[in-house]
Structure 1
Amino acid sequence: MLHTHALSLSLSLSLPSTMDDLPPPLILEILNRLNNSGDLARCRVVSKTLNALSIEVRSINLHCSFDRYTKSRSPETKSLITPFKSIFKNLVSSSRLVESVSLGVEKPLRGLSYDDIEDELNDLHLTDVDFVSNWLPSVAGRLRSISISDFWVQSCWRRSEVLSLISSCLLTSLTLEFIRLDDEDLSRVNDCFPSLQVLNLMGVGGLKEPKIHLLHLRTCQWTVSNAPLSLTILAPNLIKLKLKCVNPRSLVIDAPLLSDFYLSLEKASNLAVKEFRDLKTLQLESTYLCSLVSTFPSCKTIKNLTVESSKCADSAEATKFDLDSLLDVFPNTKSLTLGSGAWLGAETCFHAGGSEVSGGMKAVKEIIAHLFVNDIEITLSFIFSVLEKCSNLTDMALLIHREVESSITSNLITRCMAHCARVRWRWGLWKEGMNDAWVSDGI
């Protein structure tokens, strides 16, 4: 399959007569696969055929780039830049069959703070009621999915009333990023969108005791930017949940069908977790990882487990986090992934003599670990101990930090492979802010 950007480029370079020879359904399929509707706008000027077919696209996806933002602020270029909102409005107003709309700012703009720039404009305040009311009515009847990633510098001090507008749509998917709401607004989501199956709320500020109560919800991603007193999720059909928050006073999750759960908490004090009968995949992240793990009842359904703590090695809990205790709570784990903080904490605990033999270690078949190598002898001793306890382990994947000297990395690899030939060894590199890189798969 051709990359969509390559498709749009080939369309832009094609002669009108060539485009007229292509079957209209094929052209429309190509237009529907464009990841960036900015390409769609450019395709419209290529030929009458493209322009005519473009009004039948089913989705519009437009995000403001950092380059467009900076040029719109520069005295030398701002008069040459078409306002982002105008481009989006024109795309929507000339597309009659739109079912999905996604608009926002690109990632570099999300990192800007109000302290970095003085920007009291609203040209990128994308949940502004006046702006949304200009484009929504023309597509509201068919719209099933809305995604708005706002510009936090402009939206953080403006409470949005956008939900009162989009409540007229029969949505099954709603995504709101970097927007200020209150508990009353979130209650409106529960009341106005009973058919929601996908709900994503990322970087939402202003909430105090938020509650999600949706009967048909199946997938939810919720990142709370402030520290609310309590969070409640009531979703009897929820299957996948990704939840990131700080230290709520209480956390209530009633989702009996949940099978994939990612939970990130700064601290897990006064947190009680009920048993999830169908939970298969669990990811836990916390500075106080031991406390978070201890709140879970013994869960025998977990097959895939991931744990991480960014500061585990620097806290008093470092000597308490051992893999034996972890796998006592999740005794049927087949695949275990350890972030760098979790690995370092477990290694510290082992070196301090706090690790004991656990029956849960025998169920593990695969381990993926991100590690520093501060002392190669301690690291090797810990690895060999894990290999001994995990007698059914068949796959060991170690990602070593990129700043570790290559001679130390080579020494570690050589000695690991010589020590245990029964497992399939995989090697890679990792670094903060970068994608993992596998350098050897299946030696």
Structure 2
Amino acid sequence: MEDLPPPLVVEILNRLTDSTDLARCRLASKTLNSLSHEVRSVNLLCNLSRYLKSRLPETKAHVTPFKAIFNNLVRESRCLNSVSIGVDKSLREISYDDVDDESDDLYLTDVGFVKEWLPTICGELRKLSISDFWIQSCWRKSDVLSLISSCCNNLMELELKNAWLSVDGLNPMTRLTNLTLEFIRLEDEDLSKINDCFPSLRVLNLVGVGGLKDPKIHLLHLQACLWTVSNAPLSLTISAPNLVSLRLKCVKPKSLVLDTPLLSDFHLSVEEVYDFRVKEFCNLENFLLESSSLCSLLGMFTSGKSIKKLTVDSLKWNEALETRKFGLEALFDVFPNVISLNLGPGAWSEAEICFRKGGLKDRNAMKELTEIVAHLVVYDIEVTLSFIYSILDKCTNLSDMALLLHPKEDSRAASSLISMCTTYGPRVRWRWGMWKEGSKDTWVSVGI
């Protein structure tokens, strides 16, 4: 390898996804050691095997400290633009009962540790990711955000996971466009300061951020947001005039207020919400809705006329289905211009029960529909067939129908369902498949 041109060697070293291999290369030869300082990224992860070896009496003396390996990797690096350090997800299996000391060997957001290496490489740094070890970090409040903001003037992407963060001394970072906080402990005033100090954010991911009571996001340039909220009763507010894509998952917030006029792609998963306030979605085209109370939530929408592609499902749909009152008519009253409709197993079951009680009323809005994807659980094949036939009769422009059956369905009943559907609707292009909880849909040939 030493006979290769230096630029090619550097390119090879840059392609190493695990920087542990980079550390080994440094030991292999003086040439590789010298050229390794030209790499543009470092990615070092502590896995479960390494962690366990560092704890066992018979092996820990032979394990180089994880922080020391990282410091050696970044020391004297000349052009790092991406740094990622963390613990593997497998370490989440470690419980507090397995830790009988107050170690900090994997406390990676320790400001003292970060101060050893960050100021020397921050000039060219564009992306920084630190994934901490929760058992060691959750009870220590870290000032690492302040340190990062004080020296990383050119940073564009920041990712912090599994830590308790302080925003004291946080400086504005006007070049930062992407921020991910995952399993982070914050408070409402901390989130407010993040809004103020990161004004140029275009992508924001908040996953399992705890400690928030009435959080508000107010970012003028935000374009994409992923926000999963804990089960605490919260009032959530998002004010983002340029937001285009929103993935929001919460349990039972007191209120949900959205001021996002340019939103075009919206995924909302919520068990129940008592107050849902939103200005009219003039640009929303793709909407995914998961809820335990579909009917009441639909009643809070003022209008969904712009929506063309709609996915709907009911959470906890197998619980007390007979009491639910969600029907396709209610769906089309709110979203009259839907062209493509995807019904999850809960939504289909609720709609079928509603149909069984009162039939399917005629709606002009149904004439717009051209495609349906439905995830079926067949309790009574005659009712299911009658429901499908009624949909075909009302949706006169329907040209594509995809039905996915649960694997538990009897194969003879499934074959009968397929045969009768294709006979009744020869104008429709039929597709068949199977769905299973927690798995991707699989498409099968007609001969099940």
Query: Structure 1: how far apart are the matches of 2:233 and 2:118?
Result: 31
Q: Which residue of 2 aligns with 1:7?
A: none
Name 1:417's counterpart in structure 2.
422
Structure 1 residue 379 and structure 2 residue 362: aligned?
A: no
Question: Structure 1 residues 215, 339: CA separation in 2 closer, same or farther (over 3 Å shift)?
Answer: same
Question: One-letter code of the match for 1:333?
Answer: V
CA distance in 2, matches of 1:317, 1:118: 48
Alpha-carbon separation, structure 1, partners of 2:111 and 2:322: 48
Instruction: Report deviation, 1:221.
Output: 1.0
1:389 and 2:394 are equivalent in the alignment: yes
Alignment correspondent of 1:10: none
Out of 1, 4, 7, the position equivalent to 1:24 is: 7
Aligned residues: 424
Q: Distance in 1 between matches of 2:97 and 2:314?
A: 30
TM score, norm. by length of structure 2? 0.82
**Where does the alignment leave 5 or more consecutive residues of structure 2 unmatched?**
153-174
- Aligned with residue 289 of structure 2, among 279, 284, 302: 284
Per the TM alignment, residue 197 of structure 1 is displaced from its structure 2 partner at its CA by: 1.5
The one of 64, 76, 81 equivalent to 1:99 is: 81
Determine the C-alpha separation between the residues in 2 that align with 1:326 and 1:220. Answer: 26
1:130 to 103, 112, 120: 112
Is 347-356 or 240-249 further displaced after alignment?
347-356
Compute the displacement of 1:441 (Å).
Answer: 9.4
Query: Given that residues 205 and 226 in structure 1 are in contact (C-alpha distance below 8 angstroms), is that contact kept between their aligned partners in structure 2?
Result: no
Give yes or no for contact 2:314–2:347 (8 Å, CA) kept in 1.
yes
C-alpha change, 1:295 and 1:31, in structure 2 (3 Å) is: farther
CA shift, 1:180, in A, is 0.9
Give the counterpart of 2:241 among 231, 236, 241: 236
How far is the alpha carbon of 1:258 from its aligned partner? 1.5
Q: Does 2:357 match 1:357?
A: no
Q: Alignment partner of 2:277: what SS? A: coil
Whole-angstrom distance in 2 between the partners of 1:146 and 1:217? 20
Opposite residue 278 of structure 1, the aligned amino acid is N
Q: Equivalents in 2 of 1:56, 1:343: separation in Å? A: 57
Q: Distance in 1 between matches of 2:144 and 2:319?
A: 43
> Which amino acid in the other structure matches residue 24 of structure 1?
P
Report the counterpart of residue 124 of structure 2 in structure 1: 142
3-state SS of 1:325 partner: helix
Query: Which residue does the alignment assign to 1:11?
Result: none
Aligned with 2:436 (options 428, 431, 434): 431
What TM-score, normalized to structure 1?
0.83
Write out per-residue CA displacement over residues 335-377 of structure 1, whole angstroms, 9 at most, x where no aligned residue.
Answer: 2222222222222222222642222222222222223233333
Name the residue aligned to 2:258.
253
> Structure 1 residues 236, 400: closer, same or farther in 2, change over 3 A?
same
| Structure 2 counterpart of 1:366, from 368, 371, 377 | 371
2:120 corresponds to which letter in structure 1? Answer: S
d(CA) in 1 for partners of 2:256, 2:99: 37
Letter in 2 for 1:181: L
Does residue 342 in structure 1 map to residue 359 in structure 2? Answer: no
Question: In angstroms, what is the RMSD of aligned CA positions?
Answer: 3.2
Q: Partner letter of residue 137 of structure 1?
A: P
Q: How does 1:1-12 map to 2 (within 5 A)?
A: none
Q: What pairs with 1:185-200 in structure 2 (closer than 5 Å)?
A: 185-200=190-205
Contact 2:305–2:336 (Cα < 8 Å) also in 1: yes
Q: Find the counterpart in structure 2 of residue 6 from structure 1.
A: none
Structure showing greater Rg = 2
1:184 aligned residue: 189
CA distance in 2, matches of 1:77, 1:438: 50
Q: Assess if the C-alpha contact under 8 Å between 1:227 and 1:247 holds in 2.
A: yes
